[in-house]
Amino acid sequence: MIDRDIPFEYYGWWRIIETSQWDNDDIDIIGKALISITGDDDRLRMFVLLAYVDCKVAKTGVSFTWKGAWEYDNVSGTGSVKLRKNGRLSGRIKIKNGDESAFIAERAEEPEKPIPDPPSYRDKWRRR
């Protein structure tokens, strides 16, 4: 179900172009770093993270929880974004019991190929 409450200015796909805590040279290692903010089957991909995202409208933008895999390790966390005057998103992403980082994203097109589902830990052993 699409969350019609996602404000138009946030709705859609966003290309993550920079983080404050992690080496940006590897941000696209498994594909373009993207987050979708639609309220329907949202996804996140950056570095070696693939995750499902659940977006909600917040007082100052959009907040989200996410659940997925960093390589093959299950991880989850929270995040938030707000729109800057220059049209980019300014956000924060937190890994539960782990790191957190600020990030910047700019509007993007939906990828031609869907972002894959996060792998399970069992997939690590199946790929051999």
Q: For the domain bounded by 12-126, which CATH number is listed?
A: 2.40.128
**pTM assigned to the model:** 0.91
pLDDT tens-digit map of 47-102 = 999 999 999 999 999 999 999 999 999 999 999 999 999 999 999 999 999 999 99
pLDDT at position 120, please? 80
Other CB atoms within 10 A of residue 94 CB: 16
pLDDT at position 121, please? 72
pLDDT of 2 over the 90 cut: no
DSSP string of 11-48, one letter each residue: -EEEEEEEESSS-GGGTTBTB--EEEESSSSEEEEETT
Residue of 95 and 120 predicted with greater confidence: 95
In the chain, domain spans: 12-126
pLDDT at position 4, please? 57
The amino acid at residue 1 is: M
